[in-house]
Each structure stands twice: as structure tokens, then as C-alpha cells.
Chains A and B, each alone.
Chain A
Amino acid sequence: MRKANRRPFCSALAIYSTLALTSMAALGPTLWVMLSSFKTTPQIFSGSGLLPAPVTGQGYIDAFTQIRLHEYLLNTFIYATGGTIGALSLAVLTAYPLARYKFRGRNQLVAIISLALALPVVGLAVPEFFIMRALGLFDTKIGMVIFFSAQLFPLSFVILRSFLLSLPTDLEEAALIDGAGYFRIVFHIVIPLCRPALATAAVVAFVIIWNDFFFANLLTASQENQSVQVALAGFKSQFRFNVTGALAGATIVMLVPIAVFLGLQRHVIAGLTAGSSK
């Protein structure tokens, strides 16, 4: 009896210590920085104490008054929202015919778009810069929205198309018999039916654009168009004169996608598994 009880206890102990250690390794440094954003500058530089003592919100005040974080946050919000809407609208219009109608070159087209999803796009840095400049889109807000729409197009396309393939066609056929036109079917039947897949793709696209540093850094130059991630990278040099402001800023920037994830976990998880299995 005793022996039988000891084994499950030991394995439970092993399991929970693995989980606890992994959680600490995964999130420990981030939590420490988030806590530090409530510390005073002298406490941070002395490296004393894990918890803030005294607790101060000065870093958060500085983040908005001195660093002007809200201006960068607004830029990133415009890019993430605009890019997501752009990518999704175009992806649904493209995915529908490529999921429903047979025509020459269809499979090749689907394969090429799916391949673009997997390619390491940093390799295309210079040509992207060149094209953005040639189109007069370099260092403009609208340019960034268009660029991110294009970047997230393959992912949205793959998620939407695989969802459409799993959908029965009865409703569309019924509408066709009733004499509804192509775009009427797309807007009144297909898009409402795609709502779950659209939500999933939207959440994942928003987080990816929000977190992008590489292209935001490459394709903007002036401060007024800078994304908050690029500003964050600059904060590293701010350590010398306003460390609490920089940490408070970083905390806010991290909390946005964390909140999106915690609030919409189901969609994020569905999006990752849909995007990866195709």
C-alpha cells in the first residue's frame, strides 16, 4: 500500500518541479524587469532587492512625458491594425476562388504562396527596401501598412484557405441557384462563415506585426514614423539617463501582446496549429 502511494507522489513531484523550473526560466527575467520598472533608479543601479522598495510609478510618468512612448505606440498600433485588415481582406478575396474553383495554374499558385510563408524573409531585406523607395513608400505610414499587409498575406491566405476547404458548400450553392452574384456570395455568405478563421488570422497577424523589429527598422527613418519596437532598441542607450522610463516602456510594449494572447488564447492556439500543419 505504502509503496503504491509513493510512486505517484514522486512522479508528481518530478512533474511539477519540471514545470516550475521551466516556467521560471521562460518568464523569470521578464518578470524581474517588469518588477524593476516600479523601482527607483538608485535601487536598480545598486542591484539590491528583488522587489521594488519603495514602489514608484515615476518610470511610467517618464515613459510618456520624456520618452513620448504614446507616439511610437500609436504608430505601431496603426501598422498592426492596418496591416492586419489589409492582409485579411486581400487574403479572403484570394483564398475563396483558390479554394472553390478549378482553373489552370491554381495548384502552383497555392504552392508558391504557401512556400513564401516558410521562407526566411530577412534574406529579401535589400530588395524590399529598394522597392519601397522606388514606389515612394519608404518612411511613410501608409507604406508600412501596405508592406505589412503583404508580409502577412501568405499566413492569412493559408489559414483562410484551409478553413474554406473544410467548409461545406451547400449555402453557396443555394445562393447561386437563387441568382446571387459572385461578390454577393463572397460578402454575404463566405465572409460571415469565415468569422472564426478571420479572428484567428487577425490575432496572430496583429501580434506578429506589433512585434516586428527588422522591417520597421529597415523601412522607416524619421522619428515620427518609428515603431515602438525600434524605439525600444534605442532605449538600451537610455539606460544611462532614464533607466526606469525605459523599463516602464518595455513593460507596456510587452503587455499588449500578452493581454491579446491571454484574452484570445483559443484563437492564438488555433492559428499556430493551423499555420504549421499546412
Chain B
Amino acid sequence: MRLQIGLSLVPGLLLFFTFFIVPLAVLVVTAFSDWSGTDFRFTGVQNFHRMAVDDVFWKAVRNTLFYSMIGVGIQMPLGILVGVILSQKIPGWRVFRAIIFIPWVISGAAFALVFSMFYNPRFGLLNDLVAVVGLGGRHDWLFDTSTAPWAIGGTFAFVIGFTMIVVMAEIAGIPKELYEAARCDGASGWKQHRYITLPLLRNAIGTCVLIRLLTDIGLFDVVYILTSGGPDDSTATLALYAYRAYLNGEWGFANAVGATILLIGLVLIIGVSRVFRIGERAQ
């Protein structure tokens, strides 16, 4: 039996080892080096020092924070609101659930193409919509440092399908008796949600916040394709900053940035799990 268990474990673990553990080890070692793929030289914390004094790095950090704010400040509350509404099983809820979820299965590359059309200064739909509201003038949303970060944020602010689905699944598990008891005590619909639904959603909301923040830390596709981080690095992200170093052949430096991304990810996983007490059952 032992032999068979071993045989059964080996292929999967070998693959996991090759593409997760080994890269992680390579990353940690080379983050402290000057490496171009061929030449290798340990340089201590020099890469991290260079990062700390580079304005572009801090711009990327600020932009990543900005995208996280859009994720947690717009996407998350909207997703929870829609999830709570659709959980009432109002007429048409299946249709709305499908429509609102669809953007989640569309790729970043396709979305980038969609929004490069949508924001286009010459024939984009956004300028037409803005003109209808009475704010005329054809604006080049992606080439103005004051609008470009918002334009990038706009591509994912309404991709709320994941939060909606997780919230709906969690609500489906709440015993109906709780609401009946609250109704008997005279609680209004709004109060029922405020004092029953929301506290019981703590786990689900924490999970969604965590996954959103982890997505933002690694945000790449849409930014790379739409703006390459420009204009003037106003849309650059950490992932893009690392990718540029890789393209320059500065692998050691790219890995120092990569290690920073993973470290932030790890801190987020631990921090957000603590704050929302993910894993503990709701009381």
C-alpha cells in the first residue's frame, strides 16, 4: 500500500515542485544578485536599495494601492449589494446573475481591446456618452495622466461577478428561521440585512477582499496592453515594473520586485485572514 500511495503522489508533487518550489527558491536566491541569465554575482540588498530610491517603483506602489481602492471601495460594495438583492430570488434574478457574471469569464486581453475601443478619442463610445450628459469635447482618456488611472480602474470596477456569486452562496446557507424571528420582533427588511445578513457574510466578504487584493498586486494584462504603464508611469503596476526589468535583462532586479510582490501577497493573506477571521465560523 505504501508503495502505491507513493507512486500516486509522485507525479503531481514532482510537477508542483518543478513549477512552484524551484521557482520560489530561484527567486529568493537571485533577488540578492546581479543576474542576466548567464552572469551571476551576489550583490546583497543592492536590488532592494535601488527599488527603494526609484520614483517609478513608488509610483507603481501608489497605482497598485489606487487600483486596490477601486476594487475594495467600488467593486466590493456593489458586488455585495447585487448579491444580497439577487438572493431575494426576485423575478428575473437568474438573468441578471448571468449578465452580471459574464465579464468575469472574459480575458484581460479581450477586455483591453474592448476598452481601447471604448476609450478611443476619435470614435469611442465613452466620449459620446459624456457628450450626451453635456460635457463636450473629445477626450483622450488613456493619454492624460489625470484620467488614465481611472480609465484602467474602470475596466474592472464593474467586474463584480465573483463577489456576487460568493455572497449568494453564503446567503443560501443562512437559516430562514433567523429572518422569521427578526420579522416577528418587528425588524424591517433593511434592518434584517444590516443585523443578520452582513455579520454572517463576514467570512465571504473577507475571502472576496483577499482575492481582490491579491489580483490587484498582480495586475498586468489590461495595463500592459492598454497603456504599457504610461503616460509618465501614471498607470504602471508592480507586475509591470518587474516585467520591464526582465525585458532589460536585469533578472536579478526583476526577481527582487517579484519577491516583493510575493511578500506583499503573503502579508495580505495573513493580515486579511486575521482581520476578517476567515475560517472561523460566524457566530
Q: A residues bordering B, Cβ < 8 Å?
A: 11-12, 15, 18-19, 22-23, 25-27, 29-30, 32-33, 36, 44-47, 90-91, 93-94, 96-98, 101, 103, 109, 113, 115-116, 118-131, 135, 146-147, 149-151, 153-154, 157, 181-183, 186, 207, 210-214, 229-230, 232-233, 235-236, 239, 246-247, 250, 253-254, 257-258, 260-262, 265, 268-269, 272-273, 276-277
Contact = CB atoms under 8 A, between A and B. Distances in A.
Nearest to A212: B107
A148 B23 CA distance: 15
Contacts of B269: 115, 118
A101 B5 contact: yes
B27 interface: yes
Nearest to B93: A19
B8 A232 contact: no
Which of A125, A233, A277 has most B Cβ within 10 Å? A125
Nearest to B125: A32
Interface string B239-272: 1001100100001001101111110111001000
Contacts of B157: 25
Given A45-B122, A90-B11, A150-B19, 8 more contacts: A36-B117, A93-B9, A122-B220, A124-B23, A153-B15, A154-B16, A232-B109, A254-B107
A247 B166 contact: no
Nearest to B119: A29
Given A96-B8, A123-B259, A265 B123 contact: no
Contact of B11 (A93, A157, A182): A93
B158 A183 contact: no
A94 B208 CA distance: 28
Task: State the 4 A-B residue pairs at the shortest beta-carbon distance, nearest first.
Answer: A47-B123, A94-B12, A211-B107, A127-B23
B262 A94 contact: no
Nearest to A232: B109
A253 to B, nearest CB: 5
Contact of A15 (B78, B90, B262): B90
A233 B225 contact: yes
Given A27-B99, A119-B262, A150-B19, A258 B107 contact: no
B103 A30 contact: yes
A26 B30 CA distance: 42
Interface stretch (B47-55, B65-73, B210-218): B210-218
